[in-house]
Structure 1
Amino acid sequence: MGFLSIDNVTKSYGAVRVLHGVDIEVEEGEFLVLVGPSGCGKSTLLNMIAGLEEISSGEIRIRDRVMNGVHPSRRNIAMVFQSYALYPNMSVAKNITFGLEMHGTPKDQREAALARVAGMLQIENLLDRKPAALSGGQRQRVAMGRALVRDPDVFLFDEPLSNLDAKLRVDMRTEIKKLHARLGTTIVYVTHDQIEAMTLSTRIAVMSGGHIQQLGTPRQIYDDPANIFVAAFMGSPSMNLLPARLHVSGQGAVAEIADAEGAPLRLPVRGNFAGWDGRAVVLGIRPEALTDPGGADRAARDVVALRNRIDVTEPAGADTFVTTTLAGRDVIGRLRADAEVRAGQIADLAVNMDKAVLFDPETELRIG
C-alpha cells in the first residue's frame, strides 16, 4: 500500500472520458512526475488528488485514508500553481503565513515557520515586498514557501516553472531538487517538459490520451521505453525511429535498413524475437548511440562502423549534432564537440546497437 494510492481512477465530463483507469502507488518521500503533452490528463489527475476535481470512479487514498469527496482543506496537501496565485495586496510574509492564520495557528508558530522557510528559500530580504515588486523566480519561491510552511503530507506542483525563462528554469529545477533531498517530502509534479521530468523525478508516469503509457524510473523510461510514444516523447533530441526488416537465425538477429545511398545495412540486435523473422519492425536509436568512432562507448558489445553522408551540422557547445539519412529518414547523431565533420562530407560514424530497441509497427509496443 502506497503513501498516496491512485486506484483505477477515471474522470469523465459527460460522455467524454479524459482519464482511463489510472493506477499509481506513490511511496512516502517519492518524487513522482506526471509528464505528457497538453491535454493528456496530467493536470486533471493532479487536481483530483488536490480535491479540485471530482473523481468519476476509483479511489484516491493518502495515508490509507480515502480522499473521495473530502474537501481540499481537509486533505493536508499543498499546491504550487503555474500562475503562482499570490495575493497582490499582501506582503510576501503575509502570503506565506495566510493559510496558517486561517487555520488558527498561533502567531509565534506562524513566525517560526515563516523564518524557517524564508531561510530555506533564501527570501528573507523579500518578506516586506508585495508580489508586484518581485521577479518571476522570486514569486515562484514565495509560492513554494506558502506550500512548505504548512508541512503537508503531499506537495502538488502544477507546471510551476513554465512561466520562467530558460536559465531560471534550470536554476529553479536545482532548487526544487535540493529541497526534496533536504526535506524528504512526497511530491507529485506535473510538467510537459521531459527534461524537467528526467532531472527531478524518482519515478515518471508518462501520459497520453488519459492513459499511463509507462511508469518507471527515469533510466527505465529512457533506456527501455514501453512503446513508440514514450520513445519519441522522452529525450531531447528524441529517439530516431526507422522502418526496418528483422532477420532472425541461429546466429542471432539483425535489423536491415538502407543507408544514405540506399544500400542495405544490417545491424545486430539482441533480444527474444521468436516469430519475427522477415517481419517489418521499427528500429529505435537514441542520438547519443549514433556518434563519431572516437566517442563510441568502449564497453559496448555491438558497435557498427558506418560511413554516411552528413547533411547538417549543429555545434552545440559540449556536443555537435549532425543530421544524416538512414532508411530514407532524417536521423540525428550526437558527436563530440571536437568531431571534425561538415555538411556534405562522407563521415565515419559508429552505431551503438547495445542501446537499440525494436517496436511492432502495428501495435507500437516494444518487442524483444
Structure 2
Amino acid sequence: MGFLDIDNVTKSYGSVQVLNSTQIEVEEGEFLVLVGPSGCGKSTLLNMIAGLEKVSDGEIRINGTRVNEVRPADRNIAMVFQSYALYPNMTVRGNISFGMEMHGVPKPEREAKIAEVAELLQITHLLDRKPGQLSGGQRQRVAMGRALTRYPDVFLFDEPLSNLDAKLRVDMRTEIKKLHQKLGTTIVYVTHDQIEALTLSTRIAVMFGGDVQQLGTPQEIYDNPANMFVAGFMGSPAMNLLPARLLRQDGVMCAGLKLADGSEVLLPFPRAEGLDRYAGREIVLGIRPEAMTDPEGADRDSPALAQVDLPVDVVEPAGSDTFVTVSLGGRDAIGRFRAHTQARAGHPARFAFDMAKAVAFDPKTEARLA
C-alpha cells in the first residue's frame, strides 16, 4: 500500500468510459508524473484525486484513508493550476495569505509563512505587486507559494508550465525540482511534455486511450518501452521504429533492414532472449537516435557495435548535436551525430549502431518482444 493509492479507478460520462481500470501506488515523497497526449485521461485522474471529479468505480486512498466521498477542501491536498488562478485585485501577499485567512490562521503566523515561502521562491520583492504586474514565471511562483503555505499530504500540479515560453519552462522545471528535493513532498504532476516528465519525475505513468501504458522510472521508460506508443512518445527525437526481419546469420540473431536501393543490411541483435521463436518473422526494430551515431561518438564499451555505411538524406545541425536522416526499412531514421560531423546530404556516411540498446516490437500487437 502506498501513501496515495489509486485502486482500480475508472471514470465514465454516461456510456462513455474515459479512464479504464487504473492501478497506481505512490509512495510518500515520490514525484509521479502523468504524461500523455490530450484526451488520454491524465487530467481526469488528477481531478479525481483532487475531488473535482467523482470516481465512477474503484477507490482513492490518501495516507490510508478512503477519500472518494471526501470534499476537496477536506482532502488535505494543494493544487497548482495551469491558469495560475490568482485573484487579480489582490497583491501577491494577499493571494498567498488568502487561504490561511479563510482557515483562521492568526496574522503573525500568516506573516511568518508568507516570508518563508517568498524567500524559498525568491519572490520577496514582489509581495506588494498585483498579478497584472508580473511575468508568467512570476505568477506561477506565486501560485506555488499559495500552495506551499499549507502542509498538504499531496501536491497536485495540472500542466503548470504550459503557458510559459521555452526558456521560462526550463527555468521553472529546475525550480520545481529543487523545491521537491528540499521539501520531500509527495507530488502528482500532469503534463503532455515528455521532457518535463523525464526530467522531473521519480516515476512516470505514460497514458494513452484511458489506460496506463507503462509505469516506471524515467530510465526504465526510456530504455525499455513496453510498447510502440511509449517508444514513440517518450524521447526527443523519438525512438526510430523500423520495419525489419529477424533472422539467424552464422548462428547470430540479426535484424535485417531494407535500404532504398533494395539491398539489406544485417545488424546483430544481442538482446535475443526469447526471440528464437520469431526467427524469420517481421518485427519492428526500435533504436534511439543516440544509439545510431558516428563511430567516434559511439559508446566504446558497448558489447554490440555494428558499423554500416549508409547514404545520407538530410543533415540538420542543432548546436551541440547534428541529426542525420537516412532511409531504413522504408522509413526515415534519425541518427544523433556530433556537432562537427562531416556527414553531408547525398553522400554516404558511416553509422555505428549500438545494438545493445535496440529493442524489438511485434508489428501486430505493438508490444515489446525484447
Query: Within 1, Cα distance between the matches of 2:342 and 2:250?
Result: 40
Deviation at 1:267, TM superposition (A): 1.1
Q: 1:162 to 1:113 in 2, by over 3 A?
A: same
Deviation at 1:251, TM superposition (A): 2.4
Tell me the secondary structure at the aligned position of residue 244 of structure 2.
strand
Following TM superposition, where does structure 1 have runs of at least 4 consecutive aligned residues deviating by more than 4 angstroms?
Answer: none
- Corresponding residue for residue 333 of structure 1: 335
1:114/1:149 contact within 8 Å kept = yes
1:10/1:21 contact within 8 Å kept = yes
Question: Residues 24-60 of structure 1: CA distance to partner in whole angstroms, max 9, x if unpaired?
Answer: 0000000000000000000000000000000000000
Aligned runs of 1:55-134 on 2, under 5 Å? 55-134=55-134
Question: Residues 245-277 of structure 1: CA distance to partner in whole angstroms, max 9, x if unpaired?
Answer: 111478231111112422111111123213211
**What residue identity is the alignment partner of 2:147?**
A
Question: Residues 60-116 of structure 1: CA distance to partner in whole angstroms, max 9, x if unpaired?
Answer: 000000010100000000000000000011110110110111011111111111111
Deviation at 1:135, TM superposition (A): 0.4
Tell me the secondary structure at the aligned position of residue 278 of structure 2.
coil
Q: Which runs of 5+ in 1 are unaligned?
A: none
Query: Within 2, Cα distance between the matches of 1:87 and 1:275?
Result: 63
Query: Within 2, Cα distance between the matches of 1:205 and 1:55?
Result: 19
- Corresponding residue for residue 145 of structure 2: 145
Which residue of 269, 274, 277 corresponds with 1:275? 277
- Corresponding residue for residue 43 of structure 1: 43
1:33/1:191 contact within 8 Å kept = yes
Query: Within 2, Cα distance between the matches of 1:347 and 1:249?
Result: 25
**What residue identity is the alignment partner of 1:228?**
M
Query: Within 1, Cα distance between the matches of 2:29 and 2:249?
Result: 48
**What residue identity is the alignment partner of 2:127?**
L
Aligned runs of 1:305-324 on 2, under 5 Å? 305-324=307-326
1:204/1:215 contact within 8 Å kept = yes
**What residue identity is the alignment partner of 2:344?**
R
**What residue identity is the alignment partner of 2:203?**
R
Aligned runs of 1:193-342 on 2, under 5 Å? 193-248=193-248, 251-269=251-269, 270-271=271-272, 272-342=274-344
**What residue identity is the alignment partner of 1:218?**
P
Question: Residues 99-134 of structure 1: CA distance to partner in whole angstroms, max 9, x if unpaired?
Answer: 111011111111111111000000001001110010
1:117/1:149 contact within 8 Å kept = yes
Query: Within 1, Cα distance between the matches of 2:67 and 2:23?
Result: 15
Query: Within 2, Cα distance between the matches of 1:355 and 1:227?
Result: 15
**What residue identity is the alignment partner of 2:314?**
V
Tell me the secondary structure at the aligned position of residue 17 of structure 2.
strand
**Segment drifting more, 252-261 vs 182-191:** 252-261
**What residue identity is the alignment partner of 2:9?**
V
1:32/1:201 contact within 8 Å kept = yes
Query: Within 1, Cα distance between the matches of 2:307 and 2:118?
Result: 56
Query: Within 2, Cα distance between the matches of 1:278 and 1:188?
Result: 44
Query: Within 2, Cα distance between the matches of 1:349 and 1:277?
Result: 25
1:308/1:347 contact within 8 Å kept = yes
Aligned runs of 1:18-37 on 2, under 5 Å? 18-37=18-37
**What residue identity is the alignment partner of 1:315?**
P
**What residue identity is the alignment partner of 2:334?**
I
- Corresponding residue for residue 367 of structure 1: 369
Query: Within 2, Cα distance between the matches of 1:277 and 1:328?
Result: 21
**Segment drifting more, 304-313 vs 37-46:** 304-313
Query: Within 2, Cα distance between the matches of 1:182 and 1:205?
Result: 23
Tell me the secondary structure at the aligned position of residue 221 of structure 2.
helix
TM-score by length of 1: 0.99
Q: 1:74 to 1:250 in 2, by over 3 A?
A: farther
Deviation at 1:342, TM superposition (A): 1.4
Query: Within 1, Cα distance between the matches of 2:337 and 2:98?
Result: 52
Query: Within 2, Cα distance between the matches of 1:240 and 1:91?
Result: 50
Query: Within 1, Cα distance between the matches of 2:276 and 2:260?
Result: 30
- Corresponding residue for residue 7 of structure 1: 7
Query: Within 1, Cα distance between the matches of 2:109 and 2:70?
Result: 27
Query: Within 2, Cα distance between the matches of 1:264 and 1:310?
Result: 16
